[in-house]
Amino acid sequence: MAMKIRLARGGSKKRPYYSIVASDSRMPRDGRFIEKLGTYNPLLAKDSEDRVKMNMERVQYWLGQGAQPTDRIARMLEAAGVKEKSARANLKKGEPGDKAKKRAEERAAKAAAPASE
């Protein structure tokens, strides 16, 4: 059975609240899960202690059983010091688009033109 540690969404519209769960990877995001491991409330401040709550003993158990954390959960585990930081491939998502590149070039040319006069 392919296990995942992932987020299951709860809360009302535009008020997200997530449960951190261990589930079979073939189950739907908000569907059946094996165990609830914690909660995540993205509406709280980033420095709030209540933003992410996890039962670390159970998380360690599931990681030992071969469960794979999703990207977001892996970042939370890295912040908690449970997992070592891994390299991330952002590929082209961080690059600006073609129009934004052209606008930046035009701005640079415009800024350079008055300076040279």
> Rounded to whole angstroms, how far apart are CA atoms 94 and 114?
31
Residue 25 CA to residue 96 CA, distance in Å, equals 33
Q: What is the pLDDT of residues 27-61, one digit of tens each?
A: 888 888 999 999 999 999 989 989 999 999 999 99
The domain made up of 3-80 is a member of CATH 3.30.1320.10: yes
Mean pLDDT for the chain overall: 88
